[in-house]
Amino acid sequence: MDRFDSMTLFVRIVESGSFTRAANALDIPRATATLAIQRLESRLGVRLLERTTRQVRPTPEGEAFHQRCLHLLAELEDAEAMLQPIADNPRGVLRVELHGTHASRIVLPHLDDFHARYPLLELVITTGDRRVDLVGEGIDCAVRSGEPEDSSLVARRLATLEQVICASPAYLERMGMPSTPESLRHHHGVHFISGFNAPDRTLDVIVDGETRHVTTGGWLTVNDADSYVVSALEGFGLIQLPRFRLTPHLETGELVEVLPRWEKPSLPLYAVYPQRRHLSPRVRVFLEWISDLYEASFGGG
C-alpha cells in the first residue's frame, strides 16, 4: 500500500471510527488495514490512533495529520481531474459544510437528484453553527449567511433571505407588542453568540431607508440556531431569523411576527470555497446544482 493509499485508509478510519468499516469501504481485509496503519505510524514515529474495544479516534498528532491528509488528497484528486475526461461525471469525496436548517429543509430533501446525476461522488456533509476553517479542515464548499469576511475564499451568491422579528404569544402578553422600532429597546431579546465574537444583542429594522440596529435587553444568550428558536417558543424574548426558518411556527401561531409594517434587512446567502487555480469538477458540479436549488427555492440572489 503506497503513501496515498495509506492516507486514504487513515482518513476513512478517522471518519468512520472503525478499522472494519474503513476496510470494508475500501474493499480490503481488516488485517491489511491494521498492518498499513502500523507501518504508517512506524514511519512517522508517532501514534496516530487511540484504539479501544468500542471505538477508534485520532490522537492530537493524528488529528493534525488527518487535516493535512484531507488537503493533500483533495489536491491529488484535483490534479488527476485535470488529466482525466471526468468533468461531466466527477468522482471522489466531496466535503460540504451546511447550516443545520439548510441541510434538513433544503439540501437533503433534494439530494437524491444530485446523487442520480453524479453517482460516483461520495458526499460528506457536516452541519452546525460553528464557522469552520475550510482549508484547515479539508472542506470543499460551505453555505454561509451574511457578507463574506474571509478574503481567502471565493463566494458565489445563492439567495437573498427575507427576515422577520417574532416572539411567542406568552411573551407578548407579558411584555406587550412593540409598536415602533425604538420600542424594541424596552424588550428582551434572545442574544446570539457566534464563535469568538461578542454576543449580538441587536434587532435590525429599516427606518427611512437605513438599517437601524436596536439594542435590546434580555438575560439569555445562546450559540446555536435551534436553541435560539426554542428560546423564543418558550417565551424568553424576541428573535430575528430568515422567514423560511420560522414559517411553521408562524403558521401555527406558536410565534407571532413583530413590527410587520417595517421592512427588515435581507440576509444574503453564499456558497464559499477555497481559492484554487483550477476549480475541481466535483466542486463545480455541486455549485451549479446548489445554485439552481436555491434559485428554485428563493428566487436566486
Interatomic CA distance for residues 98 and 272, integer angstroms: 11
pLDDT at site 85: 53
DSSP state of 280: -
User: 128 or 241, which is more confident?
Assistant: 241
Dihedrals φ, ψ of 192, to 5°?
-125, 135
Amino acid letter, 258: V
Q: How confident is the model at residue 204 (pLDDT cuts 50, 70, 90)?
A: very high
Separation CA 286–CA 283 (nearest Å): 5
Query: Which of the listed ranges 51-60, 153-162, 233-242, 279-288 does the model predict with the highest average pLDDT?
Result: 233-242
Burial class (CB in 10 A: 0-12, 13-18, 19+), 110: middle
> Residue 133: helix, strand or coil by DSSP?
coil
Q: What is the mean pLDDT of the chain?
A: 89
* The three three-digit cell numbers of residue 294, written as one number: 436555491
Domains (range + CATH), the chain: 1-64 (1.10.10.10), 84-159+267-301 (3.40.190.10), 163-265 (3.40.190.10)
pLDDT digits (tens, 9 = 90+) for 207-225: 999 999 999 999 999 998 8
d(CA 23, CA 25): 5
CA-nearest of 194, 195, 212 to 203 is 212
How many other C-beta atoms can be found within 10 angstroms of the C-beta atom of residue 267?
18
Q: Mind giving me the DSSP string for 94-126?
A: EEEEE-HHHIIIIIGGGHHHHHHH-TTEEEEEE
Question: How far is 4 from 163, CA to CA, in rounded Å?
Answer: 47
Are β-strands 191-192 and 221-222 bridged in parallel, bridged antiparallel, or unpaired?
parallel
CA distances from residue 94 to 77, 146, 160 in whole angstroms, order as listed:
10, 24, 25
Q: According to the model, what pLDDT value does residue 277 have?
A: 52
Distance (Å, rounded) from C-alpha 191 to C-alpha 203?
Answer: 10
**End-to-end CA gap in the chain:** 47
Banded model confidence at residue 185, pLDDT cuts 50, 70, 90: very high
Q: Which residue has the cell 484535483?
A: 78
Highest mean pLDDT among 16-30, 44-58, 128-142, 180-194: 180-194
SS3 211: strand
Q: How far is CA 253 from the centre of its chain?
A: 29
| Measured distance CA(191)–CA(18) in Å, rounded | 40
For residues 223-234, give the mean pLDDT.
95
E strand spans, 102-235: 121-127, 141-145, 153-161, 163-167, 191-192, 202-207, 210-215, 221-222
User: Is the pLDDT higher at 110 or at 92?
Assistant: 110
Global pTM exceeds 0.85:
no
- Considering only 85-89, 136-140, 182-186, 209-213, which range has the smallest mean pLDDT? 85-89
Q: Which residue type sits at 183?
A: S
